[in-house]
Structure formats: structure tokens, C-alpha cells
Chain A
Amino acid sequence: MSSADTLQAFKRDGRIVVVGASLAGLRAAEALRGEGFTGSLTMIGDELGEPYDRPPLSKQVLTGWVSAGDTALPRRRDIDAEWLLGVPADGLDLATNRVHLADDREVPFDRVLISTGVRARPWFVETEAALDGVFVVRTREDADGLQRAVAAGPSRVLVIGAGFTGSEIASICRERDIPVTVAELGPAPLVGALGAMIGEVAADMQRAHGVDLRCDVKVTRLEGDAQGRFRRAHFSDGSTLDADVAVVALGGIRNTEWLRDSGLAAGVWGIACDTGCRALDLNGLITDDIFVAGDVARCPNPIYEYRLISLEHWANAVEQAEVAAHNMVSAQADRWPHLSIPTFWSIQFGVNIKSVGVPTFADEVVVTQGSVPDHRFVAAYGYQGRVTAAVSFNNAKWLDHYRQLIETAAPFPPPCPTPDEPADAKPVPVDFPGPTLLAQGATVVVTGHDPSERRVTSVRQNRRR
């Protein structure tokens, strides 16, 4: 049989399994059907219920505008799949091409897409995490519980971690006139994602809206009452705070543990893949039948020196899913690369924050347009003299221009003045906190070989055991 015939046969009767039935998984399944795949399609997901959308969970759902149950992802087409829900996959065997499920079932496949995303980083003490009134926000159930706790009119909410999710939740509490304290280990909110200068702006925004913001401080203990209800938090500076709700917003943990023995290059930063979303094994070899998409993927991008980048961005999950799906059912010569420039948005304290590019891939930042005090501006990020990212506060209409600057490696700082350029615009060091903190709050992790870390171990693995 020619390879074209093989491909046709696969498209007609092949078996594709998707592990992780959320945004990336669903979009990929739809794209597969859109590409004419008529074989069997199995969706494996550990959550019950149909795939839903997460961004509203820290926004509209908490205001009570939208109920957590009304966040189902719109369906673009019928995917005619077998759904295996409510049970996690706990192993992948590349020798026999099977996914192993926690209930001991085995699901064979010809090709598999891994889109297991991330889960919320839980509070580090299990008994304290289990207190009534302590929440994380990743799933629909989380958001539903938190929404109810917030609607009950707590005397104070403590948000631990001032990344995007934590800041959005603090914003909504203030909107509903609920006293809120935000505790952040770093020097300012959003600092892990956007650096020190924008962090200052975010801090101002929070304080101006009445948030009790405490930075450079660690929450050390969550204390409950006799009924097991959260009552008080203890801080590293010795102080305490009384509150009835604590939201743990310390970023995510990539769901890769189930791949530990698979031989794939999977770890805390995600699953490494090539630009075509094909997974790499531990030795850096590209696999043929294993694809990755969404928050769990670590993908190289030439604009960022081919470093492996993990993104927790909605648009990235959709785009990767479409590329992965296309490549799963296409011949070598027809494959697409996933090379798009990342975009991210957030809404907090009445400000629409949007970014293009990878702000953590930068050494300097400069405000190019607008006014920082008014919270209406664009800031460009530069790495070694070229533009690598931009972020806008209430000024998103310009970002297409900055995307072009990034694509063309335009010089940084951008040399030409604009009519709304601040008079005193000067590049400043971008100043990100250290890697441990970065891994907690940031929605982008840029990984690569760190020359200061002289540790390389060769792990020779034989796939055909």
C-alpha cells in the first residue's frame, strides 16, 4: 500500500484517542471531523459533564452573571465520539499503543492527542486545604463553590497569590463591595507574568479599588475553627488576618504525572513537542503518533530562539488543537507548524489587559503609548534590542501593530514617537522574580538550557522493550 493509501485508510477507519476532554481536546476533535476523519474517536476526561470554558470562572461566574453550569463550550459540529468521562488516564504505553485508565480499562489507539492541561496548585498543607471556605479555581465545581461563598456575604476574603486569577477574583470581590486582602510572595501583583514596572501599576489599581494588598509576604498557615471552618490566616511577618474565605490562586501544576513511565519528555513544565505538536520522547526523538496541545504542551517557537514554551492561554489551546488535529490526519508534506504569536487577555478593576508575545522573554520594558497613571497605555517588551512582546491596559486596539513588530524583530525600544507617547518614556529593566516564583504565578514559562545549571543526565530509553 502506498503511504497515501495508508493515510486514506487511517482517515476512514483509524482510531484516535483524545486524553483530556476540555478546550483543546474538544476543539481538536471538532477539527478532526472537519478534516474528514471518519474513524473512531474516543474522548477520555477525568471530569464529569461536557467540556466547558474556564475564563468565565474567575470573571462572570463570580459576579453571578453566568452560572457555573452555563459555561459549556459551544459546539462547532457534531463529533460523534465515545466519551469516557469521570475517570483519569493513568498510563500510556507506546509499545502497544494503549491508554491505560485508572479503572484498569485499556483503550487502544492508532494516534493519540494529549491535552490534559493543568490543575490548580493546591494549598500545601492538606488538612488546611480541606477547611470549609478554602478554595482553588480551576474547575466548574470550584467556581460554583466560591461563587456561593462570595454571595453569602463574607466579612473578608483572602486571596493568596496575585497572578491573573487571584487579581481577577480580588477585583470581583471589590465590585461586590466585599472586603478583600491579597497576599503575594513577590513584590507586586502580576509581576511573574508582566514584570516589576507593570506590577507597580497593578498594585496601584488594586489599592485604588480598596484591596488590602500585602506584598513580599507569605501566608504560612490557614487556621480553622472547631467546626472545620476557615477563620484566620497567619503570615510570615508574624501578622494574622481574620477572614471567612481563602482563595488559593498559586498557579497550576501540569497534568503529566500519568505519563511518568511512558518514555515521553514530560515533566513539571509540560510535555515537549515540535512545532507540529508531535510529542518528543525522553531522548528528544519525535514520536509519530503522539500529539500534544493546550496548557500541557511545551512547544518551540523560532521567534523565541526555539525555546520550549508552555502557555496557559485560551487562544493557544485552540490554535494548537487545530494544528495537532490537522497533522494527525495529514501526510508529512501537508503538515502545519504551530508558530503563532501568543495572545492573552484579562479583565480586572475595570481594566482590559491584553498581551501579545511572551513578556517573560524580555530584559527591558518601555511604555510606548498612553498614560500609566490613567491606566491606559501600551508597553513594549524587548530582548537584546528587539521587540518580543507588548501589553496594553485599556488600549488593545494597537496590539496588531506590536504583533507585526514582534514578527519582524523590530528594534527595541521602538525608535519612532507616536502622538500619544509619554514624554518621559525610557526603557527600564523588566525585572522578573526568580524561577521558583515564576513557576507559580506566570501563565507563560519559557524553558531552556540554563548554562549556570551544569547538570545533564543521559537517559537512554529503549522504546521496544
Chain B
Amino acid sequence: MTTTETPDTLHRILDYSARADPYPLYAELRETPVALQEDGSYVISTYRELMGILHDPHLSSDVRNLSRPMPAAGGRATPSFINIDPPEHDRMRRLAMRHFGPPHTPGLVNSMRPDLTATVSSLIDDFAGKQQIDIVDDFAYPFPVTVICHLLGVPRGDEAQFHVWVNAIIDSLDYNPKTDPKEKLDNGLQAGKDLHQYLGGLLEPRHDRPGDDLLSRLATDDGPDGRMTDEEIISTANLLLIAGHETTVNLITNGMLTLLRHPQVLQRLRDEPDLVVPLVEELLRYEPPVHMIPWRAAYSDITVGDTVIPKGSQIMLMLASGSRDPDRFDDPDRFDPDRQDNQHLGFGSGIHLCFGGPMARLETQIALNELVRRLDNPRLVADPPPYRPSPVLRGPIHLHIEQS
């Protein structure tokens, strides 16, 4: 199933000019649910096909299974569990989960509620007296970063330093050898090494003097699966730190933007704070922070619908497109916090279902509730706001608002 227009559609999506509103292009993409690209990769864009492949054990997350190597595959340290397959993936994820959720650590996320609320409150206190607020710089960025640093045991004071690394890494995720300067890739690789070394330095002393943070617990825990090696701990911390940086930030910012574009919903949320729970689910469907998973590999031949994707092919999963598929969701382009049966792809699905999902949900719920409660008649300064470059982790780079 190939059409000559399809490669254009993908490239138009990747182009920065589409960042503010890629959704019409996703609709175009969905006309061919499984689309072969000129370079031999496959783009999957419809809900049913995405669900199928996310639950297909032949879909590999390990880019070493690609027949055409990924540009940034060299120089990478131990991959984090997001990039490896079972059984190793399962073991690593279980080891990490022991400290993060049920059954061994139930209630961890919920127990963070008071701290999260306090952090949010104090950030909003600081808005006082400002003419303009940047929801990103003044709120949506510092909040999750503070949380993840605290959880991992990374000094908040080092933030300025690793922020640069994280940005360079994220920037290189969607590296395209045809259009991007090689420098972008090199910067990303170097930043990866620097971050790795930095985390190694933090981990080292925790073997002897463990604290109460995740790094310490990973360093000293012995469960039925044994203990993580230092390399594994570092790669896990790496993953959580990066994910904690760029996903929740975008979810909160996209959330505020969506509310400002739907003033009736904003008002309703102010009156019924409980609405925030389904509202965040709808947000994950309607304006998710992760738009695509660009690097998956066919471990064997994979049949999707009528198409056989040959072993070794690169597969791009257009999650945000699947969540707007009219074959799955009624009136998918409508933001409807009352939507029932909202099984979106905002956190993916299957074995790689977002590890931080429960925390991201809670952070965003608290953040949006407090923002609408305390902001006085907020207004967008520019619509659309300026976006970050990445088509993968999509969100505004700034979101300026004014209030009365």
C-alpha cells in the first residue's frame, strides 16, 4: 500500500511549519494506515493498526534489530528499558517498578500529593506582581523537574547544567541525516556521555551512604530478580530524568493552552475540580506530549492488516494520529472532557506503556486545578504560541499569558 503522496505527508509533519497544528496532516496520513516510505521505513497512523502492533511481540524496541542502522545508534551506553526487548526489558522494568509502584511500593505516587501541591502553590505565589507569565518557564518546566530531581536524588542546583544536556539529547532524537547538520547529532551524543558520567558520579557514593532517594534504593536493593548493575541504574535514571523533563512539561502546557482555547471548559473546571481526572485523560488523547515513536524495528516479518512489514524495517508509530482516528473516537477533533471509553494512546500501550504515567497524571491534575483556581481571568498573549522544534515531543516552548 504505497502512494506517492504519503512520503510528503510525513515530511510535512516533520517540518517545523506544521508544529502548531499537525492534525490535518495526520488525517491525510491515516488514509494509508500502514504507509511504506521512500527510505524503506513504515509509518503506522490508525488506531486499530497501532494497537495491534503495540501488542505484537515481533515489534522490537531495540534499534540494533534494524537492518539500516539508526544514525545515533553508535556511542550509546547501556540502553534504558524503553529501548530493549523482553526478557531483559521486563526484568529491568520490574526492578525499577519495585521502588515506584505496586505491588512493592503501592501508594508512592499518591503519597507525593501534599508535596506536589506545595510545589505548585509556591510557583504560583511567585507569579505575584508579574505583568506577563510564561506558563512554561515560570511553571510547567520547574514543577516536574523539581519533582523528578527530588525523587531521584539529583541536586536541584545542578539543573542549569543538565538542562543543556537533556535539551541536546532530545534535540537529536529526531535527527534526520538528510536535513540536519551533523553537529546536532554530535551534540546529542556528547550530551548523552556527559549526563551518563554525571549520574555515575551521583550514584557512586550512594552504595556506601544511601539516602532515601530512588538512586540509593536502586543501588542497595536486592529483590527476587537480583540487583541492577551500576550501568543499568544509570540508564534507568537517565530515562526517568529525561522523561521527567520533557513530557509532563508539555502535557501541562498543552493543557493550559487547551483550556484557554476552551473558556467554558476552563470555567467548568474551576467550579468542579473533580472534572480534572477525565479532563487530563482527554488531554492525553487530544493534545498529547508524545506524538510519535520514531524508532521501532520489525524483529521478524510483521503482518499489519494486509501489509507485511519485512524484518529489519524501521517502524514509526504515530500515536497522536491514532488518538484522533475517527474510526475509534466519535468526533475526534473535539475536546470533550466528558468523553466515555477514552482509551487513548497518550501513554502508548502494551509492555512499554509509560512507566511514569501515574505520576504525570497526578502532576498535571494538580497543576491544572491550581492554575485555574488561582489565575484571575487569564488570557493568551499569542495563539498559536511558539513551539519547540521537536515533532516527537511536541509542545509550546513558551506560553505567555496575562491576567487581570
Chain A: residues with CB nearer than 8 A to chain B? 368-371, 374, 376, 378, 397-398, 400-401, 404, 416-420
Name B84's closest neighbour in chain A (CB-CB).
A419
**Inside 8 A of A416's CB, which chain B residues have their CB?**
58, 299-302
Given A376-B87, A376-B90: A418 touches B299 (CB 8 Å cut-off): yes
Query: Is the beta-carbon distance between B55 and A370 smaller than 8 angstroms?
Result: no
Name A410's closest neighbour in chain B (CB-CB).
B303
> With A and B bound together, what is the CA distance between A370 and B57 in angstroms?
11
Asked if B24 is at the interface (CB within 8 A of a chain A CB), the reply is no
Contact of A417 (CB < 8 Å), options: B86, B299, B350: B299
Chain B: residues with CB nearer than 8 A to chain A? 51-52, 55-58, 60, 62, 65, 85-87, 90, 299-302, 350-351
SS of A interface (majority): mixed
Query: Is the beta-carbon distance between B58 and A418 smaller than 8 angstroms?
Result: yes
6 shortest A-B CB distances, which residue pairs?
A: A416-B300, A419-B85, A418-B57, A420-B86, A400-B55, A401-B55
Output the residue of B55, B301, B302 with the most chain A CB within 10 A: B55
In the complex, given contacts A369-B57, A369-B86, A418-B58, what are 20 additional A-B residue pairs having Cβ atoms less than 8 angstroms apart? A378-B57, A397-B55, A397-B350, A398-B351, A400-B51, A401-B55, A401-B57, A404-B52, A416-B299, A416-B300, A416-B301, A416-B302, A418-B299, A418-B300, A419-B60, A419-B62, A419-B65, A419-B85, A419-B299, A420-B57
Name A371's closest neighbour in chain B (CB-CB).
B87
Given A397-B350, A397-B351, A418-B299: A370 touches B87 (CB 8 Å cut-off): yes
Given A416-B301, A417-B299: A401 touches B56 (CB 8 Å cut-off): yes
What is the number of contacts between chain A and chain B, taking CB atoms within 8 Å? 45
Name 15 interchain pairs, CB-CB below 8 A, sorted by A.
A369-B57, A369-B86, A370-B87, A371-B87, A376-B87, A378-B57, A400-B51, A401-B55, A401-B56, A416-B302, A418-B58, A418-B299, A419-B57, A419-B62, A420-B57
> With A and B bound together, what is the CA distance between A419 and B52 in angstroms?
17
Name A416's closest neighbour in chain B (CB-CB).
B300
Task: Give the shortest distance, in Å, between B99 (CB) and chain A (any CB).
Answer: 19
Query: Is the beta-carbon distance between A398 and B90 smaller than 8 angstroms?
Result: no
**Inside 8 A of A417's CB, which chain B residues have their CB?**
299-300
Query: Is the beta-carbon distance between B57 and A398 smaller than 8 angstroms?
Result: yes
**Inside 8 A of A397's CB, which chain B residues have their CB?**
55, 350-351
Task: Give the shortest distance, in Å, between B209 (CB) and chain A (any CB).
Answer: 34
> With A and B bound together, what is the CA distance between A404 and B304 in angstroms?
11
Query: Is the beta-carbon distance between B55 and A420 smaller than 8 angstroms?
Result: no
Task: Give the shortest distance, in Å, between A256 (CB) and chain B (any CB).
Answer: 37
> With A and B bound together, what is the CA distance between A416 and B304 in angstroms?
14
Contact of B86 (CB < 8 Å), options: A370, A400, A401, A404: A370
**Inside 8 A of B302's CB, which chain A residues have their CB?**
416
